[in-house]
Chain A
């Protein structure tokens, strides 16, 4: 398959691994930000192939994982209202609230639909003018432009029965939060390729400068990831900081200005709670004043929500790279993909789910 096979080529991967082995003289801890990268690393066993001097820790870049429990509870409450269709990406449906998930809400009679794009949710709203259609808009900068587009389009067409429950987050503030947290071990980053495709990499330069770290936008296939890791290792060994792009076929310095324009038109920056981590200042997006009428949080009064997190779940530590999923006491015991205690065990991009799926308690 063109554009995939060449980046899964075992020969190229081996050559990159050799260079990483030769270059990594000192011990380094590198975080891959994005859950998609975590998944690919574990699936392809890249962590098993790296020299012992290079340690990968997994970052908070899984939108499902960092969506606050409060948002899940609110989605459940809204979905249970009569006359509401709740549309969501599939992964969100299995995330447990305090007492149930959206699949269970659906079996109890709620109209919950899986969509592949927010514009599909908008189409459901056009087709069902007598219903209220709510799209659960989660994600990083990658999903924000399309989620913004749905609202912009709804406004333009005057579709009054569409709204979004927004839980949008952004990468650079999370990086800063991780780097400033006491006990931080991360010395370099693989930045998320798809996020950078939208945002470019300029906004990472101040982070790299302030914390003296190398940041390398990287892709998702084994060869992309290894090229990114090699770049970070070279910079660390040579004492260099700054941003160097290792995903040239997708990412440019300025990103996608059109996508950013629609994002900025519809959303504005706000403080945002991250599940398991807490509030990170200026790390989220909310609907701005001109589009506030599309805010499901304002449209539906669901009363006071006081969610209860499982006391056993340590996903916050996992998301910040402080804890390996398999080192959590609940991993594979109380907490499995069938009985998840936290969202990191649910999402296909969650580090706990990836470990359970591909490694479990086995060391290869």
Chain B
């Protein structure tokens, strides 16, 4: 492979403070770990900024920082999460994601082999999602000052004319659609964490959803709102949507798909899957007349096979999400309070 940086390869096994100091070791890190995987026409310039042409329509811009612990979990790692998360944040706004930045904070002593695995995953995820990592930065902090690796990704995408997807667009009568089972990512991370000494087969659902979203918007450009229910889960996302649009949302408890293993783990930990993070799921609010068409497109995609309608938007109880139980009673679905368990995204 042609390396664009001619620095001598110093063989360190772990991240050193000097890897972030801008000298020869920084070059080594770039040459040995980052460039072989992330190489593209923009990065090869090694300039302080990436330059690209704007596309017609609006520009969408998003950022997110990933601090998940543990950094490797069943179904993925922090690198995949960092790419898919920002891709999804752009895509749920109706944008076609294009260019990403990647900022790394590395803890002194992190094995370089682990860093390389993470970077390789980022490259693969970017390729799958059809985006390019066009600029980046690395800092190293002393042991104990961060937890192995933190990654920030920011992304730019372009929203084609005629698309207007917003959390303020919900209308009474709209259908609430969920792309698949909930709680997989959060439970995969929680059950792997130190101290929880039981094993499960739960895998994170981390995935880039921009392809499926593109397909949906091609068929139904009038989708009212889309969100990926990450931190705080479906409960937090729907509460935000209800309050942004000053409408109520009514859910059908029996319609919400939860994997058997996730339900079991949630029961054991006393956690409501509705409040658990997802990293490869989306919620769509669409006019009732378009609901079946949207479901058909989603079910044809690998990330939406289990897409279902879980409820509807109502005029009553604005700002509030209400669940109808299988017993015929109702309860409020609260905005989750906050995290007692460790960081999951």
Chain A residues engaging chain B, CB cutoff 8 angstroms: 1, 4, 8, 10, 13-14, 42-46, 48-49, 90, 93, 114-116, 120, 222, 337-338, 348, 356-360, 362, 364
Contacts and interface: CB of A to CB of B under 8 A. Distances in A.
Contacts of A14: 327
Contacts of A356: 334
A214 to B, nearest CB: 24
Given A4-B267, A115-B195, A357-B332, A44 B325 contact: yes
A359 B320 CA distance: 11
B24 interface: no
Nearest to B334: A357
B333 to A, nearest CB: 9
B260 A358 contact: no
A45 B329 contact: yes
A116 B196 contact: yes
Nearest 7 Cβ contacts at the A-B interface: A45-B329, A358-B331, A10-B326, A48-B329, A364-B330, A90-B340, A357-B334
A46 B327 contact: yes
B270 A362 contact: no
Contacts of A48: 329-330
A49 B270 CA distance: 24
A49 B317 CA distance: 21
A123 B29 CA distance: 39
B144 interface: no
B266 to A, nearest CB: 10
Interface in B293-345: 317, 320, 325-332, 334, 337, 340-341
Interface of B: 195-196, 260, 263-264, 267, 270, 317, 320, 325-332, 334, 337, 340-341
Nearest to A43: B331
B267 A1 contact: yes
A348 B337 contact: no
A45 B195 contact: no
A292 to B, nearest CB: 29
Contact of A49 (B320, B329, B332): B329
B264 A45 contact: no
Contacts of B326: 8, 10
16 contacts: A1-B263, A1-B264, A10-B326, A10-B328, A42-B331, A43-B331, A45-B325, A45-B327, A45-B330, A90-B341, A222-B327, A359-B331, A359-B332, A362-B317, A362-B332, A364-B329
Given A1-B260, A338-B337, A116 B332 contact: no
A120 B267 contact: no
A269 B161 CA distance: 74
A358 B320 CA distance: 11
B260 A120 contact: no
Nearest to A91: B340
A46 B320 CA distance: 21
Nearest to A17: B327
